[in-house]
């Protein structure tokens, strides 16, 4: 069965939130499933399935000196101002930890709550960003370039989480059950 065959009884809504907020929404029954990354490993009431792994890439203003490089090392961004998600977002933590492993703490010029806001702030020349490459599939804002990170690039797994109503028994409504069947 394909997703388009079952979509007549599925309602899909896009809502963004922090890693913790999305997990709690699934556990509380507010959502049947959520796409998050990385896949939670220590939550007893939910189960995660890895859909794919994606590289984190640099998005730079075209005026940035590294913008014409085919690849860059994360350490080359040590003196740049970063546009990141707010502190409670896991992707920010992943990026900060990657910088710290290379001996620097990213200087944050601005926070953006949504990925499109972050790309827009980079386009305005207000900093550089590290974001999952799949978020650029439809292109990127004017005055920006995507530059792959060479070698030790942080990665993010995007996974599907499904709610357990009981510790050992899992409830799948029709749409969640069909979606789970398609991906597995």
Domain extent listing, the chain: 3-52+157-183, 53-155
DSSP 8-state class, residue 152: S
Query: What is the distance between the alpha carbons of residues 153 and 95, in angstroms, rounded to a whole number?
Result: 10
SS3 category, 3: helix
Closest CA to 148 of 70, 77, 81: 70
Query: What is the distance between the alpha carbons of residues 102 and 123, in angstroms, rounded to a whole number?
Result: 26
Structure tokens at 91: 């992707």
The residue written with tokens 């939130």 in the block is: 17
Structure tokens at 142: 């004017």
Whether 44 contacts 165, CB under 8 Å: no
SS3 category, 131: strand
- Mean predicted lDDT score pLDDT of the chain: 78
Query: What is the distance between the alpha carbons of residues 41 and 66, in angstroms, rounded to a whole number?
Result: 36
* Helices and strands, counts by H and E, the chain: 5, 7
The whole-number pLDDT of residue 155 equals 52
Give pLDDT tens digits for 33-85: 777 777 777 777 777 777 777 788 899 999 999 999 999 999 999 999 999 99
pTM, rounded to two decimals: 0.74
Query: Residue 4 — pLDDT band, cuts 50, 70, 90?
Result: low
Domain boundaries 53-155, CATH class: alpha beta
Q: 166 or 92: whose pLDDT is higher?
A: 92
Comparing 1-15, 47-61, 95-109, 156-170, the range with the smallest average pLDDT is 156-170
Give pLDDT tens digits for 109-132: 999 988 899 999 999 999 999 998
């Amino acid at each position: 069965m394909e997703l388009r065959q079952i979509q007549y009884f599925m309602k899909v809504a896009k809502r963004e939130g922090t890693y913790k907020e999305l997990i709690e929404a699934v556990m509380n029954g507010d959502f049947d499933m959520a796409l998050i990354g990385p896949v939670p490993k220590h939550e007893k009431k939910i189960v995660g399935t890895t859909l794919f792994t994606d590289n984190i890439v640099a998005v730079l203003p075209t005026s940035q000196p590294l913008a014409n490089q085919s690849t860059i090392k994360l350490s080359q961004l040590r003196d740049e101002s970063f546009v990141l998600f707010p502190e409670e977002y896991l992707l920010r933590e992943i990026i900060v930890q990657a910088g710290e492993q290379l001996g620097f703490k990213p200087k944050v010029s601005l926070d953006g709550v949504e990925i499109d806001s972050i790309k827009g702030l980079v386009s305005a020349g207000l900093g550089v960003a590290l974001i999952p490459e799949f978020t650029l599939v439809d292109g990127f804002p004017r005055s920006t370039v995507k530059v792959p990170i060479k070698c030790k690039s942080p990665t993010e797994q995007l996974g599907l989480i499904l709610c357990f109503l009981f510790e050992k028994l899992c409830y799948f409504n029709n749409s969640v059950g069909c979606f789970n069947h398609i991906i597995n």
